[in-house]
Chain A
Amino acid sequence: MRMVIKGNGAVAHAVRLARPQVISAYPITPQTSIIEGIASMVAEGKIDARFIKVESEHSALAGCIAAESAGARTFTATSAQGLALMHEVIHWAAGARLPIVLANVNRAMAPGWSIWTDQTDSLSQRDTGWMQVYCQSAQEVVDSVIQAYKVSERVLLPTMVILDAFFLSHTYEDVEVPEPGLVDGFLPPLDLPQKMDLEHPAALGNLVFPDRYMEFRRKMDLAHQVALGVWDEVGREWGELTGRPYGLVEQYRMDDAELVLVTAATTASTARVVIDALRDEGVAAGLLRLRVFRPFPADLIRTILADRKKVVILDRNCSFGHHGIFHQEIKSALYELPAGQQPEMHGVIAGLGGRDVTVEDLRGMLMGVWEGRITKPVTWWNVLEAKGAETGAVAMG
């Protein structure tokens, strides 16, 4: 069914189709309309679930953890400060191998207070054992939430489906929302191998001594490796059902590209316009869009970027004291390439705190690198440099 909905509405509809039994959430801008939409659907009887509006995000995820441990399919949504407040139990959900699906609307962290988009909130949860999918459109949000349940429940790892604040969460698009029957055929009811069960009483969350802890962690890491293949397979299967296949990454005009822009989320849609323009002008430009970021498809990215001339990696995030986070990961993935196949890599940090990344910005960074005007390994794009910034003398201002 075709609907004109915003990114947050896309999440709500996908959740409806996934038939979770427990939804637990706390309002935070710009996520709130996701749970409002879900609350209405529960009230109207469109979702047969218990909806709990708890007193904080920490409790929201804890509620999902408990319900999922009892064998129920669950959902929660949050953003920035809320995700950070969940951090303790974010680790728990992954460590307990609970296939929870969470939608995170990327929002900048305080201070200074901001409600606008920035990827540092979700990327700060990179090492928790959750899978992460970055979406570029409301259509992809619908499709990814449904796929996330399938993959999560296969490999027993939770997934964070991530969408940009406002640029995606609050903009309306024409979206194909699948019919319930189609999704029911794709996503069978949850059947956890281990759960709280009165017939088979067991204790959860016990102390694990040093002789066993590492084995649990090893299994999580192995599950991530398996998950790479599962995402690929599930994305293909979804494509056969709907005509919209998904891969771990998306490539645009990459066949003979010599200059590659790597980025994620909504910036990729702006980027396609720039790539087309550069192609018209005779520059062999292409786009590599990161979609599944955890597990990280390092081998695939290495194969795709081998032998390219120049690569620009755009990060809407920063690991302070080092590079943008996507930049770091891609650099490390390409280290294994022989010197002759290594592209020249430049990181660009742009669009933090919701600053717009325009067609002109993308053209500027791509051509700056292509024509050799940008030579530094990392560039903060279009930022007002205060006097003394280079010596670290300026803290704020």
Chain B
Amino acid sequence: MSAAETVFKPGSYKTDLKPVWCPGCGDFGVLNALYRAMAKLQLEPWNTVVISGIGCSSRLPGYVATYGFNSVHGRALTLATGTKLARPETTVIAVGGDGDGMAIGGNHLMHACRRNLDVTYILMDNEIYGLTKGQTAPTTPTGDKTKSSFWGNPEPAVDPVELAIATGATFVARGFSGDMKMLTELIQRGIEHHGFSFINVLSPCVTWRGEAQYGIIKEKLHKVPEDHDVTSREAAMRFTREKDVVTEGVLYEVQQPTIGDQIKAIREKAQGGKPAPDTKEILKTFYPAI
């Protein structure tokens, strides 16, 4: 790809790296939806940053021809915060798995949400630790047998969507890696949204949770009702902790100032309309009178 290229196709964002994911992994669907959403928005690779933590899904930045950062366990959102505040003109997309985002990096989601950081966070939720080969994650349903819970998982699972709505995300959606059309739209809308966009993507791990996951999710899948009021937190919460159904679509979307907007406003207020002061002039006021 070159700067001279004016029209980006989904394939324009591919890199030479071949994904290391298992055949049938849900993350292929997420990657392809991301390519398509980026092409629809004509995102310039040189103004786009994809940031991840650690996990199977956190390999994704390597497969996207933009700036990328495969960072440390659980810290995708902290790096995304730094990147967005330092370079507000860039489109920042954070990606990762449920282990990365809900367990080791769990506390960062709350702060990205409440700050309304203008970043899109795609959580590839397979309900298991895949890279370390099949242990219980915070999203693993209660009672499921895993390599770390032989008699069944004794813990209740977290619904990341509920967490995001509760802690202040201004765009919250649920998608499925087996529904490319909807997922592409959700990612596109998430990136377009001014504020923190959280997209929980059910992305089956065929190796550690079995291929049946696709069928199980598909059977439960239905679109969010057309009359759903996306500006109502209360209404959105009805689509969390679902057991017998999986509701896909935009569940919550409101407009609120982002942390970037707030910082900018404070700066302008502090400057009182005057140009930024010269540090040397300020220092002079501390010099002793000689």
Chain A residues packing against B (C-beta within 8 Å)? 26-29, 32, 35-36, 39-40, 43-44, 51, 53, 55-57, 81-82, 85, 110, 113
Chain B residues packing against A (C-beta within 8 Å)? 54, 70, 72-74, 102-104, 106, 129, 131-133, 135-136, 138, 147-151
State in angstroms the CA–CA spacing of A26 and B138 once bound together. 12
Q: In the bound complex, do residue A110 and residue B135 qualify as a contact, i.e. CB atoms below 8 Å apart?
A: no
Q: In the bound complex, do residue B104 and residue A56 qualify as a contact, i.e. CB atoms below 8 Å apart?
A: yes
The interface residues of chain B lying within 8 Å CB-to-CB of A40 are: 150
Asked, given contacts A27-B132, A53-B135, whether A39 binds B103 with beta carbons under 8 Å apart, the answer is no
CB proximity of B247 to chain A, nearest CB, Å: 27
12 contacts between A and B (CB under 8 A): A27-B129, A32-B132, A32-B133, A35-B148, A36-B148, A39-B149, A39-B150, A40-B150, A53-B135, A55-B102, A85-B73, A110-B72
Asked, given contacts A32-B132, A53-B149, whether A113 binds B138 with beta carbons under 8 Å apart, the answer is no
- Minimum-distance CB pairs A-B, first 5: A43-B150, A27-B132, A55-B103, A56-B104, A32-B132
Q: In the bound complex, do residue B150 and residue A27 qualify as a contact, i.e. CB atoms below 8 Å apart?
A: no
State in angstroms the CA–CA spacing of A37 and B72 once bound together. 26
Q: In the bound complex, do residue A39 and residue B131 qualify as a contact, i.e. CB atoms below 8 Å apart?
A: no
Q: In the bound complex, do residue B104 and residue A29 qualify as a contact, i.e. CB atoms below 8 Å apart?
A: no
State in angstroms the CA–CA spacing of A110 and B72 once bound together. 8
Nearest B residue to A55 via CB reads B103
CB proximity of B154 to chain A, nearest CB, Å: 10
State in angstroms the CA–CA spacing of A235 and B154 once bound together. 40
Pick from B54, B70, B106, B149: contact of A55, CB under 8 Å: B106
The interface residues of chain B lying within 8 Å CB-to-CB of A110 are: 72
State in angstroms the CA–CA spacing of A195 and B72 once bound together. 36
CB proximity of B57 to chain A, nearest CB, Å: 15
Nearest B residue to A84 via CB reads B72
Pick from A27, A53, A56: contact of B74, CB under 8 Å: A56
Asked, given contacts A26-B104, A32-B132, A55-B106, whether A39 binds B148 with beta carbons under 8 Å apart, the answer is yes
CB proximity of B137 to chain A, nearest CB, Å: 9
The interface residues of chain A lying within 8 Å CB-to-CB of B138 are: 55
CB proximity of A394 to chain B, nearest CB, Å: 22
The interface residues of chain B lying within 8 Å CB-to-CB of A57 are: 104
State in angstroms the CA–CA spacing of A97 and B76 once bound together. 35
Q: In the bound complex, do residue A32 and residue B103 qualify as a contact, i.e. CB atoms below 8 Å apart?
A: no
State in angstroms the CA–CA spacing of A205 and B73 once bound together. 29
CB proximity of A44 to chain B, nearest CB, Å: 8
The interface residues of chain A lying within 8 Å CB-to-CB of B129 are: 27
CB proximity of A83 to chain B, nearest CB, Å: 12
Q: In the bound complex, do residue A27 and residue B148 qualify as a contact, i.e. CB atoms below 8 Å apart?
A: yes
State in angstroms the CA–CA spacing of A26 and B102 once bound together. 13
Nearest A residue to B105 via CB reads A56
The interface residues of chain A lying within 8 Å CB-to-CB of B133 are: 27, 32
CB proximity of A204 to chain B, nearest CB, Å: 24
Q: In the bound complex, do residue B149 and residue A29 qualify as a contact, i.e. CB atoms below 8 Å apart?
A: no
Most buried by B among A28, A53, A81, A113: A53
